[in-house]
Chain A
Amino acid sequence: MGDPVFAHGLTLAVWLILLVKTVAVFVIVLVSVLFMVMYERKAVARLGVRWGPNRAGPNGWLQSLADGTKLLFKEAFTPRSADRLVYKVAPYLMLVPALIAFAIVPIGGTVTVAHNTTELQLADPPWGILFMLMASGLAVYGVILAGWSSRSKYSLLGAVRASAQMISYEAVLGLTTATVVLVTGSLRTSSIVAAQHGGFLYHWNVIHTALIPFALFAVAITAEMTRPPFDLVEAEEELSGGYMIEYASVDFAWFYLSEYAALVTNSAFIVTLWFGGPDGPRITGHSIGPFWFFLKLLIILFVFVWIRATLPRLRYDQLMELGWKRLIPAALIMLMVVAGFQINREWGFVAIGAGLVLAGVLWRAIDVGRGATVVESGPDPRVAQEAEQ
């Protein structure tokens, strides 16, 4: 296992290949961020029957470049009471995880350069997919430290909201990823992709795990990225901008960049984990993995934009309820069901039965708990209303 490029020792050619691959991953992420910002603005505009940016460059496609350049030349402002070091470091703490996570995404197939065959994937560690969870776990630091170091109530509240949200939904992310690992039997991203190979759609994990874990994963990763409809972290109406409210210029650009880099990287993970990565029909006998990979990536990215244009924002308590009372139990039950079906069909149905019973008990418990809270804090307004009538 592992990248075949290491088969003949660490020669100069191997080092060069690694260097090229590292730069390539960096460039892919950065270019896709520039593209994504425009793609999103254009698509949201069209979904809202507008034109969107159409001034800079051909059809306005250079607008994000122009915006980025403008940001770089703005004044880098630091609040007087800010914790200077942490304030300056926080954007990078968010940027780095978003950039490096793409390293473990298999883009598909191998290439041979000067007798050195290498995978189109920068790193293929045996604990691969945990790297994704690690990156999203560390990204929380950027958020919470940015909010804290600005010494502003709004940014602190935004940071607390954001980090609570990210930590809560990380549990769902981990549990649903575990179902994939259970089906595949490996944490390596290349093995996860290889296990889904052959048979367009039929062998993909989204079908293999009965769709529900994928749905949970998709919701969780949307919340993890604080994308709409879970973007109450930067709710303009309440927090006027969230944790990065005090940031300007380059530092703000890093936040913006890392947000979109995380979007691209996480969409790539959705493709890898659930949609077979570079798996797809061959065309005239040639395997065109990268084409299928980027096509799927584009489709997933469009769905994210579509969701943003369609759904209204959730309230904070709705978000927490959805996470802790619905998604986490559902993810746990699905993990159990998938594990049951891994043994044999009977155990699978037993797991489904047990899961339904557990879900019922939990439903009742939540109901009772909610009733208890209402009684403690005074009469239930609904009851009072009924009594008046």
Chain B
Amino acid sequence: MTAALLAAATGSGAHLAHASAWAVFGVGAALILTGAFGVVLLRNPVHSALMLVITLIGVALEFIDESADFLAAVQIIVYAGAIVILFLFVIMFLAVDRREPAAPEPTRAQRPLAVLLGLVALAELLILSRVQHWSSGAHHVAGSLKGGEDVQKLGESIFTRYLLPFEMTAALLVIAVVAAVVLSRRHGRVAAEMSPAEQEEATLR
């Protein structure tokens, strides 16, 4: 938004808009990297979750830089506002919110495998960004976002051209929710059916 606004505002001073777009990109990238390193390096799970929020805010900034304002807002509302909160819930309820020594590796090949997969992913990203228009392989699928209401374009492409994938994703999510409910009901009783003493034992160990 800042970039678009400045571009509209300055008119002739296009270089200023360009510079500000780079500045926004730089700040966003710094936030993403800080957050990402924090998630991995910090020992306390709650701190890691907070660093994840910083990464998400950085990603939202990059969306804004690309004039995808709606995606930026949704990124904050959905991911930062709901999903990481659920992470925090789980961390707090499982009482894992304390510093832990590094646990022994579950499988011995995990570490080399992780390095290998990371390198493959990096190579993939680099190649795609060289040969294709970023990783989707498509350029301006729903029309250019520069200037104009991105919500309309997003809505049009979701409800016309990409209706089937969109609905399928929705169906998958519903199935996942139902499955989660069924699984949690099968093993053990839900909290509402426990006595207060049992509840306390289960949650506040």
Residues of A within 8 A of B (CB): 2, 6, 9-10, 83, 86, 125-127, 130-131, 133-134, 136-138, 140-141, 144-145, 148, 153, 156, 160, 163-164, 167, 170, 174, 186-187, 317, 373, 376-377
In the bound complex, residues from chain A placing their C-beta under 8 Å from that of B158 are none
Cβ of B89 under 8 Å from chain A = yes
Q: Which 6 A-B pairs have the closest CB atoms?
A: A137-B81, A130-B73, A6-B9, A377-B193, A127-B69, A134-B76
Determine whether the beta carbon of B82 is less than 8 Å from that of A170.
Answer: yes
Q: In the assembled complex, how far is the CB of residue B139 from the closest CB belonging to chain A, in whole angstroms?
A: 23
Nearest opposing residue in chain A for B44, CB measure: A83
Determine whether the beta carbon of A131 is less than 8 Å from that of B73.
Answer: yes
Determine whether the beta carbon of A83 is less than 8 Å from that of B46.
Answer: yes
Q: In the assembled complex, how far is the CB of residue B106 from the closest CB belonging to chain A, in whole angstroms?
A: 28
Residues of B within 8 A of A (CB): 1, 5-6, 8-13, 16, 44, 46-47, 50, 53, 69-70, 72-74, 76-77, 80-82, 85-86, 88-89, 92-93, 97, 149-151, 189, 192-193, 204
Q: In the assembled complex, how far is the CB of residue A324 from the closest CB belonging to chain B, in whole angstroms?
A: 13
Selected contact of B70 from candidates A6, A127, A163, CB within 8 Å: A127
Determine whether the beta carbon of B204 is less than 8 Å from that of A153.
Answer: yes
Apart from A134-B77, A148-B46, A186-B149: 13 A-B pairs, beta carbons within 8 A:
A2-B8, A10-B9, A125-B1, A126-B151, A127-B72, A133-B73, A136-B81, A141-B85, A148-B88, A148-B92, A160-B92, A163-B89, A167-B86
Query: Interface majority SS on A: helix, strand, loop or mixed?
Result: helix
Determine whether the beta carbon of A163 is less than 8 Å from that of B77.
Answer: no
In the bound complex, residues from chain A placing their C-beta under 8 Å from that of B82 are 137, 167, 170
Nearest opposing residue in chain B for A6, CB measure: B9
When chains A and B are docked, how far (Å) is the Cα of A54 from the Cα of B177? 55
Q: In the assembled complex, how far is the CB of residue A17 from the closest CB belonging to chain B, in whole angstroms?
A: 13
When chains A and B are docked, how far (Å) is the Cα of A187 from the Cα of B1? 14
Known: A373-B192, A373-B193, A376-B193. A130 touches B74 (CB 8 A): yes
In the bound complex, residues from chain A placing their C-beta under 8 Å from that of B80 are 137-138
When chains A and B are docked, how far (Å) is the Cα of A46 from the Cα of B76? 42
Query: Interface majority SS on B: helix, strand, loop or mixed?
Result: helix
Known: A6-B8, A6-B9. A126 touches B97 (CB 8 A): no
Determine whether the beta carbon of A138 is less than 8 Å from that of B193.
Answer: no
In the bound complex, residues from chain B placing their C-beta under 8 Å from that of A163 are 85, 88-89
When chains A and B are docked, how far (Å) is the Cα of A127 from the Cα of B9? 18
Known: A163-B85, A167-B85. A148 touches B97 (CB 8 A): yes
Q: In the assembled complex, how far is the CB of residue A198 from the closest CB belonging to chain B, in whole angstroms?
A: 24
Known: A126-B149, A134-B81, A373-B192. A2 touches B5 (CB 8 A): yes
Determine whether the beta carbon of B85 is less than 8 Å from that of A130.
Answer: no
Nearest opposing residue in chain A for B93, CB measure: A160
Nearest opposing residue in chain B for A148, CB measure: B92
Report which residue of B6, B10, B44, B151 has the largest number of chain A beta carbons within 10 angstroms of its beta carbon: B151
When chains A and B are docked, how far (Å) is the Cα of A144 from the Cα of B50? 12
Q: In the assembled complex, how far is the CB of residue B62 from the closest CB belonging to chain A, in whole angstroms?
A: 15
When chains A and B are docked, how far (Å) is the Cα of A170 from the Cα of B44? 28
Known: A9-B10, A10-B6, A130-B70. A137 touches B53 (CB 8 A): no
Determine whether the beta carbon of A187 is less than 8 Å from that of B46.
Answer: no
When chains A and B are docked, how far (Å) is the Cα of A134 from the Cα of B189? 35
In the bound complex, residues from chain B placing their C-beta under 8 Å from that of A170 are 81-82
Determine whether the beta carbon of A86 is less than 8 Å from that of B92.
Answer: no
In the bound complex, residues from chain A placing their C-beta under 8 Å from that of B73 are 127, 130-131, 133-134
Q: In the assembled complex, how far is the CB of residue A328 from the closest CB belonging to chain B, in whole angstroms?
A: 14
Nearest opposing residue in chain A for B12, CB measure: A9
Nearest opposing residue in chain A for B53, CB measure: A141
17 A-B pairs with CB atoms under 8 Å apart are A2-B8, A6-B5, A9-B9, A9-B10, A127-B70, A130-B74, A134-B73, A140-B85, A145-B50, A148-B88, A148-B92, A160-B93, A167-B82, A167-B86, A170-B81, A317-B192, A376-B189
Nearest opposing residue in chain A for B76, CB measure: A134
When chains A and B are docked, how far (Å) is the Cα of A167 from the Cα of B86? 9
In the bound complex, residues from chain A placing their C-beta under 8 Å from that of B88 are 144-145, 148, 163
Q: In the assembled complex, how far is the CB of residue B138 from the closest CB belonging to chain A, in whole angstroms?
A: 24
Q: In the assembled complex, how far is the CB of residue A93 from the closest CB belonging to chain B, in whole angstroms?
A: 10
